[in-house]
Amino acid sequence: MSLEIERKFLVSDCSFLRGIEGIECLQGYIPGRTRSAVRVRIKGDRGFLTLKSATSGLTRSEFEYEIPLQDARDMLDLLCEKPFVEKTRYEVDFCGELWEIDVFAGQNEGLVLAEIELRSEDQAVAMPPWLGPEVSHDPRYFNSQLARTPYVQWREQS
């Protein structure tokens, strides 16, 4: 088991992504308990099964396993709720820290989020100029929630 400590922000300006190659991701969630999430993801040509606990502060337990690509496809088709979360993920180094930028498509088109994984909840981080407001504590921006209530259904309200 590992702990995921993560901060999440809206992205206010995507121009910094020009010329950076991203990787296509498709992910779905297996319905079940609301205090945890079971995710199936295809990232490029690799499949993953991830189990995450409920978030406490910025931290949650995470178990992630690579699985055969065809198994991931079958699980998405047979076990996961629709719509899927579609996005392109970009990895960007800023001041020696890795930021993951997700540009969403499909039912979440128009949403761009930046995430950074931390070593501790109180870790100081240099904030890139392209960041917008922090949404770490807003559950609407959790990928599992975007699968249930896509951005297109509520973006005008935010």
Each residue's pLDDT tens digit, 38-97: 999 999 999 999 999 888 888 889 999 999 999 999 999 999 999 999 999 999 999 999
Q: How many domains does the chain have?
A: 1
The type of residue at 43 is: K
Which residue, 83, 91, 139, 96, is CA-closest to 115? 91
141 noted as active-site residue: no
- Rounded mean pLDDT, 12-32: 94
Quote the domain boundaries for residue 103: 2-157
CATH number, domain of 141, equals 2.40.320.10
Query: Of residues 29, 90, 141, 151, which has the active-site annotation?
Result: 29
CA–CA gap between residue 132 and residue 13 (Å, rounded)? 8
CB atoms within 10 A of CB 68: 10
Entry pTM? 0.91
